[in-house]
Amino acid sequence: MTDDYSNLIQSISKAQTPKPDWLKQHSVVFSPTYGRGVVKVLLGNFATILFDHQPEAFDIDDCLEAVSAGTLLPPQSNPALTTSRDIEAIPYAPYQMLAQEWETQLRHLNVAPPRDGQYVSIPETLAAPLKTALAAKGINRLFSHQVIAYNALRDGEDLVLSTDTNSGKTLAFSLPILEGALTYGHTTLMIVPSNQLMDDQFEKMATLMELTGDDSLVCGKIHGGIEQEHRLSMFNDQPQVVLINPDCLNGLIRRARDPKYAKYTEFLSRLKYIVIDEGHEEVGVMGAHLAGMLMRLRLSLSQVGGDPWSLQYIVCSATVSNQAELANTLTQRNHPLERPPVRVIDDAQNGAPSPGRVTLIFNHQSNSASTVARLVEKLLIDTDLVGIVFFNSRNGSKKLMETVGRGLKRLGQSGLLNTVKLFNSSVNNDLKRQVIQGIKDGGVRLVFSTSSLQAGVDMPELDCSIVWGFPKLSDLRQRWGRAGRGQVPGLCIFVPSNNTNLDYYYVRHPQALINGQVEAALLDPHYPIRLAQHLLSAAAESGLKSEEVSLFFGEAGEVIAGELLRQGKLLQSQNLAYMYAKGRPYYDIPVRGNRPNSIKLINTTNGEVLETLAFNNAMREVFPGAIYKVQDGTGKLNQFRSQGLRPETNAVKLDPIQGVNRFTQAIEESDLTVARKIAQKVLNLGAFGALTLRLDWSKVDSRVVGAQEWEAIQVLSCETNGCKKRAVDLTSSRVSRCEGCRQSLKLKLVKQDLLAEVLFEPEAIIGYSIECPTMTLAASESLKAHLRQWVKQHNRGVKLQHGGKLPLHEQVLGETDPIALGLHSFLHALIIALPLGDRYSTQDIEDSLQTKGPGMDVESVLMDTVDAGTGATEYMFEHIQTVARNALQLSQECDCQNVGCPRCLTHTSCLDDNEALYKPLGVALLKAFLETEQTETLVTVPDKAKPEAEAQGTAEAQTASLEAV
């Protein structure tokens, strides 16, 4: 009661301070957090504001405090909000119509004007057959950057082509490599990450070869769908260019001494060019494995009479910030002779014309799924546009397909659903090819895709690209780059997903989405376990001389080879001339990280293979009794009931069922078991206390132990505050807008009931496990006490500033365990700074908050993402002070609010969805650590480590990790 009286007296005192002229009842205001709003109530310093696209109004206890803090501003403070004048600047009428339709929900609009091309005459030195081919294609001049690339490769340089999407990169490198084939008999190996892109590139290359009129030019391709005998016959045709994916390259390298593959050996001996397409995909573990395979390939080349040091590398990528570094790291250009630096041709040298681009960034939506569904319906019904919608999950694309199907049926347009197709990793390759062909033929209007179609498949028919939910910047640019590859400007749309900090941040900073620097492509080819796998493979494939180790695998390779000899995994011949390895270690290399183990989904009525899933996805999606949905030829999603996964057959039988408004969810469990302790450090955080870091070799088990079945019912209604038809079920009406307020109708979940929950019998439980390094952050008793005290005091201070309540962006202080808040915030700041070490990215790790049991304190755990590790966790442990300094600098330079942002605190690999984070606490802990003198680190050496391992000092963790495998 005393506080109430005190606040009443203070309110009179505060009311004496005049308010700014723009802050009045019914006036328009702007919030950096929520955008445009209208003041509905203003009494004293208390205000109630209704912000656009927010379902409920917000109460502000002290509006003057909000003005002072910069959280409440006049309307002109937001240059990003769209105006009618902005929309009128859109040069293409269908895009302008869409922008007008959605004007009230747009946060930002950007129009990039067309760009004229810079042309150069076809070089006189170009081989005559290639001039003939260009003339047949109607090309009488080249883009300026294509000629720069041609001259650089003729001069013997390595090359990075990093011009924008749709800039003719393929032709830029095709001319010089085919000239080399015609003139000198050179061959080219082109490494392509996906089968769809391979088909596209193969068609371009084969067509160019055919147009030369020279029958000696042959192009071949190798991927998992091509049988061994066909691969063999392909080499018998003596191709000059072979396209291959990384998985098949791993198996091909060992064929260098196979008598059946004599023609491959001949191809290899003449190898001159290695093209790495979509180089930004070759990061993390996949990139490290590709670098290891190229080491082995160079070794094989030297053993069959070729010259590995005359190889030239061409890396293509439109979305990477560290182009030269990526090329050097992938190719490991540790040359015995001096080579010129890799030549980078970036977008500043791009001579290709561009039709321009229109970018629409939506504001936060109360129901983003409904917004995307209505947007899709609008595109299908009211325009002739052809487009693609990108999702961050397969299930998300299927759910929206159902929503769109119901919407089109309600609007009397069910037939249009046949023009919408799913495209993801589980869809069969034949169906994927049909979808791509359907886009070209006009039978497909919209594609719902995951990352499977973001690589550079050339589809000039695509007008627009919609990205729902932030992936990462490089992926976003790749996805937007699918649109506008013809003569018409591309339409690029970003719709933020609900309740994610990353989407929230980028909506508030739209220029970062459009023009911000993309992520660096990072990998570590010398991570001991990866390097060991490729050393053993090389020794098994063709034998390995000791003097060849450093030449082809670097200095780190010598250390690892010595350890493998000590462990008896690498063996020496009797005359000590070479080293060898038993078995087929190359079969055990998971090129893309964790081994996929493809599971076929089979229709029990006809035996048809409906889709193919990776094992870890199948475990979660087709457990016994699971409802699984598959698109048929009409666009409809048919439902099936799973009989359960049979690991011995790598197949799941699916029984058709009638459509119901039901879905199933797996009940998952995971355990982290420390298999071996590697090392331990105690960090002194000054007055806060001590923080223990434990580096372990751990086994992470994941399994599905049961399932839930739910019923969900959605209705279409108006959700506009004050509208007479608000919350009225309008599902049966054939309208997309409310007849009362003319706002778009929204899908609303009105019922979600749990129908059943079952726990599986032990024999039906299926799971998988990985072993990798983990780093655990554990707080001492002193640190726990100080964290509780810090949060308590900070909580009290914030409440005093805001009339006894925590504002929305500070509520984490009152909702989160202080220990979890401190450990998680400290670790996240370190994770964001990890890429500054120029070796690892945030995609190489995951983190989570864990407790060992009821009533026990939480710990924060960092772990590598794949079996045998990535090296990122060990790097963090060993370089904690360097990473912490970078983290503190990032945090202090970032002007975001206390919840943090992608530049300083939040990241996409957090298993706790970026909850329990508070930037000021993370900064306080970083400062305490860096400002306190650290005593000698306590290192716990594994019990099984031998004396030789102990002598390796800081390398002991890597040796222990290698020995654990």
* Listed range (307-316, 344-353, 790-799, 889-898) with the worst mean pLDDT: 889-898
* pLDDT higher than 50, residue 959: no
* pLDDT higher than 50, residue 752: yes
* pLDDT higher than 60, residue 723: yes
**Percent residues over pLDDT 90 in the chain:** 50
d(CA 559, CA 574): 22
DSSP-assigned letters across all residues of 497-557: PTT-HHHHHHHH-HHHHHHSPPPP----TT-HHHHHHHHHHHHHHH-B-HHHHHHHHHHHH
* pLDDT higher than 50, residue 913: yes
* pLDDT higher than 80, residue 69: no
Is residue 949 very low, low, confident or very high in pLDDT (cuts 50, 70, 90)? Answer: very low
The pLDDT score that the predictor gives to residue 135 is: 96
User: Helix, strand, or coil here: 58?
Assistant: strand
* Listed range (225-229, 494-498, 559-563, 805-809) with the worst mean pLDDT: 805-809
**Distances, alpha carbon 18 to alpha carbons 23, 44, 61, 64, 803, in Å:** 10, 10, 16, 9, 19
* pLDDT higher than 60, residue 930: yes
User: Helix, strand, or coil here: 302?
Assistant: helix
Half-sphere exposure of residue 747, counting CA atoms within 13 Å on the CB side? 21
Q: 94 near 385, Cβ under 8 Å? A: yes
* pLDDT higher than 90, residue 72: no
* pLDDT higher than 70, residue 83: no
**Percent residues over pLDDT 70 in the chain:** 88
Is residue 814 very low, low, confident or very high in pLDDT (cuts 50, 70, 90)? Answer: confident
Residue 117: exposure state from Cβ atoms within 10 A (0-12, 13-18, ≥19): middle
d(CA 611, CA 640): 12
DSSP state of 744: B
* pLDDT higher than 70, residue 940: no
Residue count of the chain: 965
Predicted confidence (pLDDT) per residue in 595-636, tens digit: 656 899 999 999 999 999 888 889 999 999 999 999 988 888
* pLDDT higher than 70, residue 721: no
The pLDDT score that the predictor gives to residue 856 is: 78
Is residue 124 very low, low, confident or very high in pLDDT (cuts 50, 70, 90)? Answer: very high
Q: Quick one: tokens of 197?
A: 């892109």
Which residue type occupies 706? G
Start-end of H helices in 212-333: 228-236, 246-252, 262-269, 284-303, 323-331
Q: 623 near 644, Cβ under 8 Å? A: yes
* pLDDT higher than 50, residue 368: yes
d(CA 37, CA 481): 34
| Residue located via tokens 């979305």 | 319
* pLDDT higher than 80, residue 473: yes
Predicted confidence (pLDDT) per residue in 145-182, tens digit: 999 999 999 999 999 999 988 889 999 999 999 999 99
The pLDDT score that the predictor gives to residue 664 is: 93
- Evaluated on CA atoms 747, 748, 749, 750, the torsion sign reads negative
Higher pLDDT, 951 or 319: 319
Q: Quick one: tokens of 927?
A: 């400062």
* pLDDT higher than 80, residue 870: yes
| Residue located via tokens 């001049």 | 141
- Give the residue-averaged pLDDT of 342-351: 93
Higher pLDDT, 378 or 724: 378
Predicted confidence (pLDDT) per residue in 762-772, tens digit: 888 888 888 99
Q: Determine if residue 351 is left, alpha or beta; phi over 0 gives left, psi from -120 to 50 gives alpha, anything else beta.
A: alpha
Is residue 852 very low, low, confident or very high in pLDDT (cuts 50, 70, 90)? Answer: confident
* pLDDT higher than 70, residue 957: no
The pLDDT score that the predictor gives to residue 952 is: 33
Higher pLDDT, 336 or 27: 27
Is residue 221 very low, low, confident or very high in pLDDT (cuts 50, 70, 90)? Answer: very high
Phi first, then psi: what are they for 533, rounded to 5°?
A: -60, -40
Q: Quick one: tokens of 955?
A: 């390398």
| Residue located via tokens 């506080």 | 3
d(CA 107, CA 81): 5
Q: 762 CB contacts (<8 Å, ≥6 apart)?
A: none
- The structure's pTM equals 0.82
Give the pairing type, strands 609-613 and 599-603: antiparallel
Computed on alpha carbons and rounded to an integer, the radius of gyration of the chain in Å comes to: 30
